[in-house]
Chains A and B, each alone.
Chain A
C-alpha cells in the first residue's frame, strides 16, 4: 500500500467513513445520539482511544505476534489491548482530572465494545498499512465517527418536534436518516479510493 498518510486521513473521514460505509460502531451511535453534548463527549473519547489503540495494536502485531508466529491470536490480543488501555485511561482520568472524568468517564466502558475500535485495528492489518498510515487511519476514522454521530444527534433534536410514523419512531427513523447521510457521503467517493 503506497497511499500517503495524509490522503488516508481524509479518506477515512469522507470516502470510507467508518460508520457510513463500513457500518462500524452502530450500537453506541444509535443509543448515545439523543443529546448533542453526550454524542460529542463520546466522539472525542472514540477519537482518542482509536488513535492510541491503532498505534499500540500495530506495534503489538508487528513486533510480537508476527515474530512469535501467533497471528491467529490477533483477535484476543487486540481486544485485550483495547480493554486494558480503556481501563488505564479511566484510572488516569479519574485520578488527575475529575472534571473530565464526570463528563467523559461514563462513556469509556462503552468504548471497549464499540466495534469501530476493533474494526480499525483489523482493517489496518488486512490492508497492510505501515505505522504512520495506521495512525492516520485511526485518527481519521475517529473524526469521521464523531462527524456522523454529531450530525445524527443534531437531526434527532430537530425531529423531537416533528410527527414520525409510530412504527418508525426511535431506531427506524434514525436508520433512515443515516441512510440519507450515507447517500450524501457517496458523493465524496470519487475523490480517493482506498478500498
Chain B
C-alpha cells in the first residue's frame, strides 16, 4: 500500500470509532464542548503517531511474550508528555478533561493499532497510520461535540451563534445524548458510506 492509501484507510475506510467501535469511552466523555474535543483529538493524534513510530522501530527486538507490556509502557510515556504539556500550557482545559487524558493509555485504539499495524510494519508506514487513525478519531469527536455544543449551549468553540432566542437543550449536556448521537452517526455512516443493504 502507498502512504496515501494507508492514511485514507486508517482515517475513513477502517475508522476506529465508526467501523471498529474502539475508543468509545473518551469519545463520549469529552464531547460536551468542541474545544475539549479538539485538544483531546490532538493529544490522541500525537500519542498514536509517536507510539506507533516507536513500537515499529523496536518491533524486531521486542520479545513476543512481553510485547503488550512494552507497548503499554511506550504509550504511557507519551501520554505523560501530553499530560504535562496540557497542565503547563492549558491548565483550564487540563482540569476539564480530568482523568480522560490519562485514560488515553487504556484507549483501545492505541493498543489496537500497536498490535495490528505498528508491530508488523515499517516505521514510516506506522507513523502515517497513526496520524490517519488519530485524525479519524478527532473527526468523530468534533462531529459529536458540534451537535452537543450547538444544541446544548448554542455556541461553537465557545462563540455564541444561536443568540438569545435559543433555549438550551439540557439533555445535550448530559451523558445520554452522547450515546444517542454516536449511535445516529454510526447509523448514517453505515447506510450512506458503507451502503449496508436492507
B176–A113 CB distance below 8 A: no
Chain B, residues 100-121, CB within 8 Å of chain A (1/0): the string is 0011011110010000000000
19 contacts between A and B (CB under 8 A): A23-B29, A24-B25, A30-B21, A72-B83, A73-B80, A76-B77, A79-B76, A118-B102, A118-B103, A119-B99, A166-B191, A167-B187, A167-B189, A171-B21, A171-B186, A175-B179, A175-B186, A178-B179, A179-B178
B28–A168 CB distance below 8 A: no
B106–A79 CB distance below 8 A: yes
**Complex CA distance for A115 and B99, rounded to whole angstroms:** 11
Chain A, residues 16-55, CB within 8 Å of chain B (1/0): the string is 0000111111110011000000000000000000000000
Interface status of A65 (Cβ within 8 A of chain B)? no
**Complex CA distance for A27 and B28, rounded to whole angstroms:** 12
Give the residue of A26, A170, A176 whose beta carbon is less than 8 angstroms from that of B28: A26
Give the residue of B98, B103, B107, B187 whose beta carbon is less than 8 angstroms from that of A172: B187
Total chain B interface residues with beta-carbon distance under 8 A: 45
Residue among B72, B84, B179 having the largest count of chain A Cβ atoms under 10 Å: B179
Interface status of B93 (Cβ within 8 A of chain A)? no
- Residues from chain B with Cβ under 8 Å of A123 in the complex: 99
Interface status of A122 (Cβ within 8 A of chain B)? yes
Closest CB in chain B relative to A155 CB, distance in Å: 14
Give the residue of B68, B108, B190 whose beta carbon is less than 8 angstroms from that of A27: B108
**Complex CA distance for A176 and B183, rounded to whole angstroms:** 6
A179–B196 CB distance below 8 A: no
